[in-house]
């Protein structure tokens, strides 16, 4: 029987102590997010939650080691293969996409505590034999007796919910009904790409739509063996055509595993069956069809919104509304979200209207290299060969569309930089060298043009404007706090966020904040002196994008620091600012070269 050594026991107990409070809210929010997706997925999660509780209860009641770790839905199924795979795939960012496996806890399984306990005993035995190395194991002696009572009470309460709801009836699912109407009436002949956050919902939609004689469809989840083939069958024109014997698909239902990296522009209709947590996901979903080669003039995006009761609890619409409000303050609009001007607001969001994503945390989620790779893959082979043959530090100039408001699309230069550590940066200045933007998404949209776009003569002050771009990225490093990195770096944003939290606590002192302030002082000093480790940087950036609270963010940072995983403390970060390398630049002009600025211009 597996068990932990003393050093492992201390580590596991410390981790449990830190995670406990956050996991309570995490589980609760995830259940409501599943309910927002579909009643079917919600009921599956309730059943699985009961079973997970009772697996732990079984261990405690029999004095056995308790499995500590993720209990994936597929692992809860005794029908699972005996093969001991190398890893169980799980999403790291909340809420997770539970496995598509229809475990034995679903369907016609008896809704009694005794039946679930018997099932939990069988699952526990499977864990000890087949999944032993997937868990940490902690002796039952470390858990208080009250935990047994709490686990059983929780399971009993959830069983009560299942008993009140009964089996899910797809015939009364109004959300499914609206989707069916969309696919069979409004867009009966069109290709439609349906996104959902959860694999269970995707599987449910496939089953129920097929039952209604909609057969030219397929699903893609993280359990799909060959998503590339399904993408080609759905969008053959943009993926080299169908090989002999393959049948074309009209409808593709997918989780966000397909939200990036595939060409699906044969379609022009997207359905968000549930809303993702982050705005960037909406953009990535639309980006599957809004690509080079799209032949439709209009892309339609339909979104199902959370019911009011669920929205009051998880505040998903509110989170998106708040983020859009911040964007609107930047661009100075008075549009409303999910109101009368919803169509305009969402259109701006999906098309990345100039400025709509500037200075937004979600912009950090757009990886420049990945974005460029998508364009590269969609380019013709001849264009790729010509691009590879270009010399270093190449420059070009393209025409901007005529506009009545020159401030919306100012002329100037965009410069692409790369730092020695591989970090990329784009900087845009106007024709006078004044900073315009460093938003990856906005600049990349401005750069995009067809291969046959005619070049314009380079402005006489083109290289001078490139120098202004260079000076801007260097200035970011020498400003106060510059050794924290650029203004858009995770390290700088984390430092500023925690510094602001400290100032708010100091402004309203209480008897219980001394320990918190001491923790803040320690981590702020560490962040100032040392660079972040990559793993910590990725995890912290993800949590900040997901809207983590200041208190929880501090807990997370302290946890990484305690495990010596926050910063690289081998050498203090006191080196001189690092010069990036200029990769290329593009001038932006109207139909004539930009005139040289020979004096002060107060326009």
300 shares a domain with 186: yes
The predicted pLDDT at position 449 comes to 78
Give the C-alpha separation, 303 to 299, whole Å: 13
Residues spanned by the domain of 103: 6-168
Number of C-beta neighbours around residue 418 at 10 A = 15
pLDDT digits (tens, 9 = 90+) for 573-589: 555 567 888 989 999 98
584 shares a domain with 476: yes
The predicted pLDDT at position 192 comes to 96
Among 314, 338, 364, where does a domain finish? 314
Q: What is the DSSP code string of 151-209?
A: HHHHHHHHHHHHHHH-S--GGG-HHHHHHHHIIIIITTTS-EEEE-S-HHHHHHHHHHH
Given its phi and psi angles, is residue 422 left (phi above 0), alpha (psi -120 to 50 degrees) or beta? left
> Do residues 143 and 114 lie in contact, with contact meaning Cβ atoms separated by under 8 Å?
no
44 shares a domain with 157: yes
241 shares a domain with 161: no
The predicted pLDDT at position 105 comes to 43
147 shares a domain with 263: no
* Cα 162 to Cα 13, 112, 166, distances in angstroms: 33, 10, 6
> Do residues 247 and 233 lie in contact, with contact meaning Cβ atoms separated by under 8 Å?
yes
Give me the residue label for tokens 């229809």: 102
293 shares a domain with 222: yes
Residue 371 forms part of a structural domain = no
Number of C-beta neighbours around residue 422 at 10 A = 7
* Cα 9 to Cα 3, 53, 335, 562, distances in angstroms: 9, 21, 55, 16
The tokens for 539 are 């995890």
88-93 mean pLDDT: 32
Is a pLDDT exceeding 50 seen at residue 593? no
Is a pLDDT exceeding 70 seen at residue 526? yes
Is a pLDDT exceeding 80 seen at residue 357? no
Give me the residue label for tokens 């053959």: 236
Residue 495 forms part of a structural domain = yes
Give the C-alpha separation, 16 to 95, whole Å: 19
Give the C-alpha separation, 528 to 434, whole Å: 29
Q: Report residue 404: phi and psi, to 5°.
A: -70, -25
Residue 153, judged by CB atoms within 10 A of its CB (0-12, 13-18, 19+), counts as: exposed
Is a pLDDT exceeding 60 seen at residue 103? no
Q: What is the DSSP letter of 133?
A: G
Helix (H) or strand (E) holding 416: strand 412-418
* Cα 275 to Cα 31, 38, 255, distances in angstroms: 15, 12, 11
193 shares a domain with 302: yes
Number of domains in the chain: 4
User: At 310, which CATH number?
Assistant: 3.40.50.300
pLDDT digits (tens, 9 = 90+) for 199-257: 999 999 999 999 999 989 999 988 888 888 999 999 999 888 999 989 999 999 998 88
Beta pairing class for 581-589 and 412-418: antiparallel
112-129 mean pLDDT: 91
Helix (H) or strand (E) holding 543: helix 534-545
218 shares a domain with 71: no
346-364 mean pLDDT: 41
5-25 mean pLDDT: 65
Total residues belonging to the chain: 603
Q: Is the pTM of this model over 0.85?
A: no
More confident of the two residues 269 and 21? 269
492 shares a domain with 428: no
518 shares a domain with 416: no
The tokens for 522 are 């320690």
Helix (H) or strand (E) holding 427: strand 424-430
Among 314, 340, 366, where does a domain finish? 314
What mean pLDDT value characterizes the chain? 75
Residue 525 forms part of a structural domain = yes
398: preceding bond cis by omega (within 30 degrees) = no
pLDDT digits (tens, 9 = 90+) for 402-417: 543 444 568 899 999 8
Residue 524 forms part of a structural domain = yes
Give the C-alpha separation, 174 to 496, whole Å: 46
Residue 349 forms part of a structural domain = no
Confidence band of 92 (pLDDT split at 50, 70, 90): very low
Number of C-beta neighbours around residue 552 at 10 A = 14
The closest of 394, 192, 420, 390 to 285, measured between CA atoms, is 192
Residue 201 forms part of a structural domain = yes
Residue 498 forms part of a structural domain = yes
Confidence band of 542 (pLDDT split at 50, 70, 90): confident
Q: Across 280-323, where does the E strand assignment appear?
A: 300-303
486 shares a domain with 439: no
Given its phi and psi angles, is residue 47 left (phi above 0), alpha (psi -120 to 50 degrees) or beta? alpha
Is a pLDDT exceeding 50 seen at residue 594? no
Give the C-alpha separation, 487 to 474, whole Å: 11
Among 282, 314, 346, where does a domain finish? 314
Among 22-36, 58-72, 222-236, which range has the highest average pLDDT? 222-236
More confident of the two residues 287 and 308? 287
pLDDT digits (tens, 9 = 90+) for 418-476: 877 666 788 999 999 998 888 776 787 788 777 778 889 999 999 999 999 998 888 76
The predicted pLDDT at position 407 comes to 45
Q: What is the DSSP letter of 273?
A: S
214 shares a domain with 143: no
The predicted pLDDT at position 374 comes to 61
Percent of the chain with pLDDT over 70: 68
> Do residues 77 and 529 lie in contact, with contact meaning Cβ atoms separated by under 8 Å?
no
111-118 mean pLDDT: 90
361-390 mean pLDDT: 65
Is a pLDDT exceeding 70 seen at residue 161? yes
The predicted pLDDT at position 104 comes to 37
Residue 66 forms part of a structural domain = yes
The tokens for 446 are 């401005």
> Do residues 173 and 165 lie in contact, with contact meaning Cβ atoms separated by under 8 Å?
no
The predicted pLDDT at position 40 comes to 93
């Amino acid at each position: 029987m597996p068990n932990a050594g003393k050093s492992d026991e201390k580590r596991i107990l410390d981790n449990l102590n830190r995670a406990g409070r956050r996991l309570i809210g995490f589980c609760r929010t995830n259940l409501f997010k599943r309910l927002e997706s579909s009643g079917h997925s919600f009921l599956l999660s309730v059943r699985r939650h009961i079973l997970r509780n009772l697996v732990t209860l079984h261990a405690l009641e029999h004095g056995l080691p308790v499995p500590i770790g993720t209990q994936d839905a597929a692992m809860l199924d005794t029908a699972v293969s005996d093969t001991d795979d190398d890893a169980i795939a799980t999403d790291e960012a909340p809420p997770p996409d539970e496995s598509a496996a229809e475990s034995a806890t679903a369907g016609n399984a008896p809704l009694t505590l005794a039946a679930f306990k018997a099932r939990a005993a069988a699952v526990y035995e499977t864990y000890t034999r087949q999944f032993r190395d997937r868990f940490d194991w902690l002796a039952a002696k470390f858990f208080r007796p009250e935990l047994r009572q709490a686990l059983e009470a929780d399971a009993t309460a959830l069983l009560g919910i299942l008993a009140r709801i009964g089996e899910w009836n797809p015939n009364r699912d109004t959300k499914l009904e609206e989707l069916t109407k969309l696919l069979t009436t409004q867009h009966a002949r069109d290709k439609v790409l349906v996104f959902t956050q959860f694999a269970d919902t995707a599987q449910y939609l496939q089953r129920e739509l097929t039952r209604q004689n909609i057969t030219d469809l397929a699903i893609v989840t993280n359990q799909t063996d060959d998503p590339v083939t399904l993408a080609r069958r759905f969008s053959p024109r943009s993926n080299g055509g169908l090989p002999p014997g393959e049948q074309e698909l009209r409808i593709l239902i997918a989780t966000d595993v397909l939200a990036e990296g595939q060409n699906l522009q044969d379609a022009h209709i997207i359905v968000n069956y549930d809303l993702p947590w982050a705005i960037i996901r909406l953009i990535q979903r639309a980006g599957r069809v809004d690509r080079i080669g799209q032949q439709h003039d209009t892309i339609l995006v339909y979104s199902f919104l959370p019911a009011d009761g669920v929205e009051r609890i998880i505040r998903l619409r509110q989170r998106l509304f708040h983020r859009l409000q911040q964007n609107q303050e930047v661009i100075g609009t008075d549009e409303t979200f999910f109101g009368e001007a919803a169509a305009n607001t969402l259109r701006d969001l999906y098309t990345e209207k100039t400025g709509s994503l500037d200075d937004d945390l979600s912009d950090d989620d757009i990886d420049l290299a990945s974005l460029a790779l998508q364009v590269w893959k969609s380019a013709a082979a001849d264009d790729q060969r010509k691009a590879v043959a270009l010399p270093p530090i190449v420059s070009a100039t393209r025409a901007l569309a005529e506009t009545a408001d020159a401030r919306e699309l100012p002329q100037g230069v965009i410069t692409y930089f790369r730092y020695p550590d591989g970090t990329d940066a784009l900087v845009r200045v106007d024709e006078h060298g004044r900073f315009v933007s460093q938003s990856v998404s906005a600049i990349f949209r401005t750069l995009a043009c067809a291969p046959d776009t005619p070049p314009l003569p380079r402005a006489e002050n083109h290289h001078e404007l490139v120098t202004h771009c260079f000076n801007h990225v260097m200035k970011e490093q020498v400003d106060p706090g510059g050794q924290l990195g650029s203004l858009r770096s995770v390290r700088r944003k984390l430092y500023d966020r925690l510094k602001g939290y400290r100032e708010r606590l100091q402004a309203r002192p209480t008897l219980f904040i001394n320990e918190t302030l001491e923790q803040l002082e320690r981590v702020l000093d560490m962040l100032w002196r040392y660079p972040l480790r990559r793993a910590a940087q990725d995890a912290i950036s993800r949590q900040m994008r997901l809207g983590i609270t200041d208190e929880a963010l501090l807990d997370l940072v302290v946890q990484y620091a305690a495990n010596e995983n926050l910063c690289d403390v081998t050498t203090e970060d006191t080196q001189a600012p690092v010069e990036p390398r200029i990769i290329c630049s593009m001038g932006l002009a109207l139909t004539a070269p930009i005139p040289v600025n020979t004096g002060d211009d107060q326009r």
